[in-house]
């Protein structure tokens, strides 16, 4: 194990990597679902905003909300922050910001992420954090396994490549009584299944486990 700072791989990836990433998501069912939810939201946080491909697509489709806040460890946020007054993007780790000051991120209508939960040691901490700061969430799971257990693989940069077990995920959600809907969707761009985790606005924060 090296002493490479957490997430260094995302800081050093060139823009063409993020273009390729968007090509594997643009037009995919899960991305279209998240876009449709965003078009109904006034305030949005995107965890893992990269170089703003999703944000720009959202604007192209006519989103006129009051606030979009993106977080990413790469140099991407500086390339699209403030392209319109409602858009702000920060080069920062969402969970790190919360750890330093939980009040730094207010409550929004919707928190989204794509290809982020699969790089956490476990899906739950980031999901709960999102639920506590948003009326609704839409988070995708890009690496899915039909095995009975999650399979986190820690990398030298401190990130993980975690294959999340759909069976165990559903068991954990039920055991915690979380108001999360899980949908299995096929991504024809990547040629594999993904999971979409969503909550509905009717669920109150008091229902979340402490």
User: Among all chains, which residue has been given the structure tokens 């922050």?
Assistant: 81
Using alpha carbons, select from 78, 80, 32, 72 the residue that is nearest to residue 50.
72
Q: What's the rounded mean pLDDT across residues 35-47?
A: 97
For residue 3, what pLDDT is reported?
A: 57
Q: CA–CA separation, 72 vs 48, rounded Å?
A: 5
Q: How far apart are the first and last CA of the chain?
A: 33
Asked if 122 contacts 186 with a C-beta cutoff of 8 angstroms, the reply is: no
* 108-140 pLDDT tens trace: 999 999 999 999 999 999 999 999 999 999 999
User: Among all chains, which residue has been given the structure tokens 């823009």?
Assistant: 15
* 80-110 pLDDT tens trace: 999 999 999 999 999 999 999 988 888 999 9
List, in order of start, the domains of the chain with CATH numbers: 8-207 (3.40.50.150)
For residue 205, what pLDDT is reported?
A: 45
Lowest pLDDT segment from 54-58, 100-104, 186-190: 100-104
Pair of tokens at residue 172: 């954990």
Q: Where are the beta strands (DSSP E) in the chain?
A: 43-47, 67-72, 87-91, 108-113, 134-141, 144-145, 151-154, 160-165, 181-187, 192-198
């Amino acid at each position: 194990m090296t002493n490479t700072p957490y997430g260094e791989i995302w800081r050093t990836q060139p823009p063409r990597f993020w273009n390729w990433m968007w090509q594997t998501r643009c037009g995919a069912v899960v991305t279209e679902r998240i876009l449709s939810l965003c078009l109904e939201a006034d305030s949005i946080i995107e965890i893992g905003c990269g170089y703003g491909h999703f944000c720009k697509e959202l604007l192209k489709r006519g989103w006129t909300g009051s606030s979009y806040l993106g977080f990413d460890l790469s140099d991407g946020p500086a390339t699209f922050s403030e392209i319109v007054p409602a858009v702000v993007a920060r080069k920062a780790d969402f969970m790190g910001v919360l750890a330093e000051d939980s009040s730094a991120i207010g409550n929004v209508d919707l928190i989204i992420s794509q290809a982020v939960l699969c790089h956490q040691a476990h899906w739950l901490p980031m999901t709960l954090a999102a639920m506590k700061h948003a009326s609704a969430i839409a988070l995708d799971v890009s690496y899915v396994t039909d095995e009975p257990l999650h399979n986190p693989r820690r990398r030298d940069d401190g990130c993980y490549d975690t294959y999340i077990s759909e069976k165990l995920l559903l068991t954990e959600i039920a055991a915690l009584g979380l108001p999360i809907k899980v949908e299995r969707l096929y991504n024809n761009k990547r040629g594999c299944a993904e999971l979409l985790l969503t909550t509905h606005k009717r669920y109150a924060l008091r229902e979340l486990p402490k």
